[in-house]
Structures are given as C-alpha cells and as structure tokens.
Chain A
Amino acid sequence: MNLKLNALVVDDSRVMRGMVMETLRKTGLADFHFVEAEDGHDALNKMTANSIHIAFVDWNMPNMTGIDFIRASRAHAMRNDEDPVPMVMVTSEKTMGKIQEALDDAGAEGFISKPFTADEMKRKVAKAVEKALAVQLRKLRLRRDAQIAEAETESKSKLFGRLFG
C-alpha cells in the first residue's frame, strides 16, 4: 500500500520551509504531501482544516512559537481523545535545555538543529515518520474493516429480505 503523509511545515521563513520540504523529499522516508504554515496560529488553523499526519515545526516565530503550538496541538488531541500528531522541531535552537523542553516537556517526537543535511534529517525524523505511517495505516485498516462490516450487514439484510420479504 502506497501511503501518502500529509506533512505540515511550520516556519516563518518561506526559504526555510522550502529547504525543509526539499530535504524531506530527499530522505525518501515517505511520499509527503506538504501543507505550509507561517507561525503557530496559522499551523493550528491548518491542522484543523487539513488531515495532518506529521508536523515539522520551527521554534522562534511571531504570534505563536513552535513550542506553544506543539503544546496546544497535543492538548487538543488529548481533550478529543485523538492520536497526537507526531511533531518534530526543526530549529536553530540547540542548547540542551531547549532540546529537553521540546522532547521531554512538550512531547515532540524529534529535534533537528539548523543547518541540517539530508542524512541528518533522515536519521532524526525516521522514528516520527514511522509512527505517523503506523497511525495512518491503523486508521486505514479500521476504516476498511468498518466498510467490510457495513457491506456484510447490507448483504445479510438483502438476503433476509429476499428470503422472508
């Protein structure tokens, strides 16, 4: 099955969004369909409007920072009993405190410091991409099972109709 991943790329720099998308394509980890957002607020709106499977998020942005966006997004998923979307920080921040804050406190799945190469990107996002693919695959299987069950019920109901109707 060829799964497409809807990936949200959040960065206030248009050039950097382009670099992140190009590098992710080069990793060959998944067939990405990209959605772009300029800051955390924009990202929250795009998350609602699109079925996002994974997000790559800058830290320092106007209006709403990347770390606040990750916290808000995870809180929303928890309130609605949904799977949290795997999030990877892609940032110029690189101190241990910031890495811990992103991974341990906010719940990011990965952390990449700028500048990055395709190899570094591949190594550091592989786990998050695998998780996103697994979640999507599970949802597709559940949907397929529901469709099969529905078709079986319909077929049984038609059969009963013919026999006793």
Chain B
Amino acid sequence: MLAPSFETSFPPAVTEAATAGIEITLDSILGERPVRVSPAVDAPEGPMLAAIISFIGEMKWSLTLMVTEPVGVALVERFCGLKLPFDGEDMADAIGEIVNVIAGEVTLQLEKRRMRGRMSLPTVVRGQALQLIANRSAASYRVAYRLSFGDFSVRFLAAGTSLFARLPGK
C-alpha cells in the first residue's frame, strides 16, 4: 500500500499503467525490480538529470524521471555497459533513451487497460537539486523508488482534468 503522502489526483488507471511500465522496464534492464518508497519531501542536493516524455491519448500527460549523479551513473552503466561521466552528453542521451524504453512499456500497459498513449521524443534537463513545480490546476502523481544503488523519483503531470471522466477507473 502506498504511503498517504503520495499525491492522488492523477487518474488511477494511468498511474497503474505508468508505474507498471517503469517497474517492468527497470527489472528487464537491471535484473532488479525497483521497490516503491515514500518520496522525500526535499529535492536531493547536487547535480541531477530529468528526462521528460509526453503521452497523447485520452489525455495529455508527461512522465519525468529524475536521477542524481550516483544513481544516473549506475543506471546507465547497467543499461549500456559503459561508465559514463555524469556531466557528459552521452549520459543525457542514455538517460533519455532509458525513459524512451520505459515509455514504450507504459504505452503497452496503457493499451492493456484499453487506453491509448502515443509518446513523444524524450527531453533531458540537467541542473542542481531539480524540483518540478506543477501548476495548481495540474493533476500530478509522484512516486519514489529504491534500487540497490540508490533512490530515484518519477513524476506524472497532466494539465487540465476535463478529459479524465472518459478514462477507465475514474
């Protein structure tokens, strides 16, 4: 059961598909299924990368994967077998590709739940102690995961809620 601090305004069917997509993909890449934990209230210190990918279907929403340097380096090393410097272009490229692979599985999981989700190309942002600030009207959901080499978080955001009524599970 998720901790009550998790935001719950996001459509549950989409949340289920998205979290399943993340967990299945990372299990497949790492041979280790990420475990859900309560998200930290404060943003982690230090350099970070955020990879964002959007979906268009019954609703428009985005998935943002946020990783710190130690987690990003370890994740990419397990993904492509290369220990890349965190501040390099290839690191951003690889994190973008990981979120792209996750998005492919999310699309499949949406389809299994009778929803559509055409995905965009990924965008990767680099910064210090990144925080994603959502508009008040945006529906959002934040989930944090633990892997053997560290924690990371994922945020789902959707602007406007008028289309949610058409979604299964809502």
Residues of A whose CB lies within 8 Å of any CB of B are 12-16, 18-19, 22, 60-62, 91-97, 113-115
Contacts and interface: CB of A to CB of B under 8 A. Distances in A.
Nearest to A12: B121
B97 A91 contact: no
Interface in B72-114: 79-82, 90, 93-94, 96-97, 100-101, 103-105, 107-108, 111
Contact of A94 (B79, B80, B104): B104
Nearest to A92: B104
Given A19-B80, A62-B121, A115-B79, A13 B108 contact: no
Q: Which of A60, A61, A92, A114 neighbours the largest number of chain B CB atoms within 10 Å of its CB?
A: A92
B58 to A, nearest CB: 15
A58 to B, nearest CB: 9
B119 A95 contact: no
Interface residues of B, number: 23
21 contacts: A14-B93, A15-B93, A15-B97, A16-B93, A16-B97, A18-B82, A19-B80, A22-B81, A60-B100, A60-B121, A61-B121, A92-B103, A93-B104, A94-B104, A94-B108, A96-B111, A113-B104, A114-B97, A114-B100, A115-B28, A115-B29
Q: Which of B94, B104, B120 neighbours the largest number of chain A CB atoms within 10 Å of its CB?
A: B104
Q: Is the interface of B mostly helix, strand, loop or mixed?
A: helix
A113 B25 CA distance: 11
Nearest to A98: B107
Nearest to B84: A15
A114 B80 CA distance: 12
Given A60-B121, A115-B25, A115-B79, A13 B93 contact: yes
A95 B121 CA distance: 17
